[in-house]
Structure 1
């Protein structure tokens, strides 16, 4: 089954290739993160180690570190396993969370850290250092609630009656609830600050599009790319096409109604999850 670990472009490449399209505030964040993380990773893990993913924002931002960049490009289904460090955007402080190269993703959830290993086991490391298994069969795309009492994620479904992946919510007691399970892939969820609205990406209409549901599992509604089919994208997408996010790790909510996300190459878009209105967020100070 296709793994749903959606790679973020390495920050060095992002800065070099998309600086002309990036909001100045985002460019500053990228530059600052590199300045602090590059020397800290080299000191803690050796000169061949590189940080290749950022998870979340602010004080609770985490970074995934590979032991070294492979000489040959990885296949589509190959997942580089990561060690995890924490990076505080405000102070620039970096600390090691776990030195073992065995994780696919990590996210700060309240005072705790959720760690997803290569086998799909989701564990929580509490502030006191105690670790416990939270859920199994988790595909990735972790996104915590603002309260830190749960997180939404892509789930790996099994059985003939199940689709390839689904979107679910996992509370901190390990209870898992499926919110969306349409044909094919439902993935990349995010949950609004008020803890009610869940948006995710689905290809159920043949074009990757945003859908919206809620924590009660209401019937999903398509928000973007309504009426588009995949053949319409040949030769370049039409002007009404709204690109999907590269991952859930670079999503942030401007309000309970507006989601800001990385659409690739460092270019951010804003999406109104009530109306489906979306547009690039390319310029201006923040």
Structure 2
């Protein structure tokens, strides 16, 4: 199921390593350290000493963590990503609570008081506070990112035989209605929706260089924001100075306001991009 994303992954890695900072933003370092202090002992207690948390989904009170039963001894291939159990982590208090003990999920995000759970088969379900699940959508590739109101989420869709391309970017509401917002050549993935619920940015490899594009919740024609005019061969030997790296995933994005998106570009490098103008620059701020 991960094969459609391989091309975009390779394009991403081609440009990020040379730009990655060796120093993590101090504010982010404190955040990760705080999460580890709470999650490591809780995971060992609930899942055993070999279990590890390997993903954080979301921010604040709605943060979730993905747990593996143990770290594989050998490196995994692209199609062999381990499935996860899910716990809820409250960033403000450090409290940890198990959402699901089964190792069968690829991603999870909170939607208001509920939790969206994506399993290894691409089936997306919504779990309420009483532990009851209901089906939201099938053929979901991942990259879940909820709206600020908790009434919908954007995601990468696996088109199968329903479109000319392997993946698309779509929005899914709480009634399970799915609307395709962007379906261009190459791979469209890693969407994020602005706090006002109007703008959707995503990453596409349609020009051979992984770049940010912008559309809206009505599916307006996508506009390229970054790396305009660049081609893949221009990145070999080190990317040009105007190259803007893509995010490592939708789970490493946060909106500063309705126009500015902050994201992890890999290797400890954080960037900010204005989704109206396309202006992007490294974020090296944070308290000392």
Is the pair's TM-score, using the shorter chain for normalization, greater than 0.5? yes
CA distance in 2, matches of 1:181, 1:165: 7
* Per-residue deviation, 1:266: 2.7
**How is 1:89-100 mapped onto 2 (pairs within 5 angstroms)?**
89-100=91-102
Instruction: Indicate the SS of the match to 2:250.
Output: coil
CA distance in 1, matches of 2:279, 2:55: 29
Which of 257, 271, 278 lines up with 1:276 in the alignment? Answer: 278
**Counterpart in the other structure of 1:201:** 203
* Per-residue deviation, 1:23: 1.3
CA distance in 2, matches of 1:245, 1:3: 17
Give the structure-1-normalised TM-score: 0.93
**Counterpart in the other structure of 2:69:** 67
* Per-residue deviation, 1:258: 0.3
* Per-residue deviation, 1:19: 8.4
CA distance in 1, matches of 2:111, 2:5: 21
Instruction: Indicate the SS of the match to 2:251.
Output: coil
**How is 1:186-265 mapped onto 2 (pairs within 5 angstroms)?**
186-265=188-267
CA distance in 2, matches of 1:150, 1:226: 30
CA distance in 1, matches of 2:106, 2:112: 20
Which of 54, 57, 74 lines up with 1:55 in the alignment? Answer: 57
Q: Is the 8 A contact 1:4 1:140 kept in 2?
A: no
Count, aligned residues = 276
CA distance in 2, matches of 1:135, 1:4: 20
Q: Is the 8 A contact 2:124 2:137 kept in 1?
A: yes
Q: Is the 8 A contact 2:4 2:187 kept in 1?
A: no
**How is 1:110-125 mapped onto 2 (pairs within 5 angstroms)?**
110-125=112-127
Q: Is the 8 A contact 2:4 2:166 kept in 1?
A: no
CA distance in 2, matches of 1:29, 1:142: 21
> Can you give the 5+ residue segments of structure 1 that lack an aligned partner in the other structure?
8-17
Greater displacement, 154-163 / 38-47: 154-163
CA distance in 1, matches of 2:103, 2:5: 19
CA distance in 1, matches of 2:29, 2:281: 19
CA distance in 2, matches of 1:210, 1:218: 15
* Per-residue deviation, 1:129: 2.1
* Per-residue deviation, 1:285: 1.8
**How is 1:121-200 mapped onto 2 (pairs within 5 angstroms)?**
121-159=123-161, 161-200=163-202
Give the structure-2-normalised TM-score: 0.93
Which of 31, 34, 39 lines up with 1:32 in the alignment? Answer: 34
Deviations 1:10-63 (A, max 9, x none): xxxxxxxx8852211001001111111111100100000000011111110000
CA distance in 2, matches of 1:202, 1:248: 13
CA distance in 1, matches of 2:189, 2:70: 28
> Can you give the 5+ residue segments of structure 2 that lack an aligned partner in the other structure?
10-19
CA distance in 2, matches of 1:3, 1:77: 10
Runs of 4+ aligned structure 1 residues displaced above 6 Å come to: none
* Per-residue deviation, 1:138: 0.2
Greater displacement, 126-135 / 215-224: 126-135
CA distance in 2, matches of 1:195, 1:141: 17
